[in-house]
Amino acid sequence: MLQTHLDAAGTAHVTLDRPERHNAFDEALIAALTETFQRLGKAAGVRAILLSGAGKSFSAGADLDWMRRAGGWTEAENRADALKLSDMLHAIDTCPKPVIARVHGNIAGGGVGLVACADMAVAVTGATFRLSEVRLGLTPATISPFVVARIGARARRWFLTAEGFDAATARDIGLVDEVADTPEAADAVVAGWLAHLAAAAPGAVADAKALIRAVAGQEITDALRADTAARIAARRASPEGREGLAAFLGKRKP
């Protein structure tokens, strides 16, 4: 249901592997994704994580059998189950390693949540996106913090209408960063991002991810300015920072 391998360059390839179910979520896949991203986030040899889906679709969201079971649970049981999905999204969103999503085919509901948690996302032309929950009498509640953080007020339309939208629209609203005409072109986009990440200090990249979460949406206060000053001071004094500055001033590679 989830395939993972680490290549020689330090990229961890994580592939949703339920093609017969269009990589829809169930309890087992949610648990596997949570454990995998928590583990890879701590792994010293991992420089970046590439998330993709096997088969015709990246992820069609919730598995129908899982939804059918949930329909018979109590509110408390559903709350506990929803928290597990939220934990999975949180593990991806806060993973200290850069996360790239390469998406294609149908992406619905929780699949859109996965895309929103990635740092960079490329969609293959022909991909279709849908936040379909209201058509089922539900809301995209669990994924909403991550999706709204990505697309902002644009969610007011897509959450309410549950209409589908294409890859170009996904780029326009900020859900994905690039659109590629073919799978091969999407691979080239990913390769370019990985090359840039390989040229950056891994500790600085992790700290930059944490920095974004710390300052996003915050009022510029004395406390925030002091915090950001402390963060750059720590970076300048770190081995990576000292080596990076020395290499730049010495006109050599770090």
Phi, psi (degrees; rounded to nearest 5) at 208 = -65, -40
- Retrieve residue 47's tokens: 């420089």
Residue 28 has pLDDT above 80, yes or no: yes
Looking at the DSSP bridge assignments, the partners of residue 179 are 123
Lowest mean pLDDT, pick from 64-78, 88-102, 113-127: 64-78
Residue 42 has pLDDT above 90, yes or no: yes
Domain housing 142: 2-198
Q: Is residue 254 part of a domain?
A: no
Regarding whether 60 and 118 lie in a shared domain, the answer is yes
Helix (H, G, I), strand (E, B) or coil at 127: coil
pLDDT digits (tens, 9 = 90+) for 61-80: 988 888 788 778 888 988 99
Regarding whether 92 and 157 lie in a shared domain, the answer is yes
Regarding whether 140 and 179 lie in a shared domain, the answer is yes
Regarding whether 193 and 100 lie in a shared domain, the answer is yes
Regarding whether 217 and 161 lie in a shared domain, the answer is no
Q: Is residue 70 part of a domain?
A: yes
pLDDT digits (tens, 9 = 90+) for 164-194: 999 999 999 999 999 999 999 999 999 999 9
Regarding whether 231 and 189 lie in a shared domain, the answer is no
Q: Is residue 221 part of a domain?
A: yes
Regarding whether 236 and 189 lie in a shared domain, the answer is no
Number of domains in the chain: 2
Query: Average pLDDT, stretch 207-222?
Result: 96
Q: Are 110 and 131 in contact (CB under 8 A)?
A: no
Regarding whether 126 and 48 lie in a shared domain, the answer is yes
Q: Is residue 216 part of a domain?
A: yes
> What is residue 136's DSSP assignment?
G
Regarding whether 54 and 132 lie in a shared domain, the answer is yes
N-term to C-term CA, the chain: 40
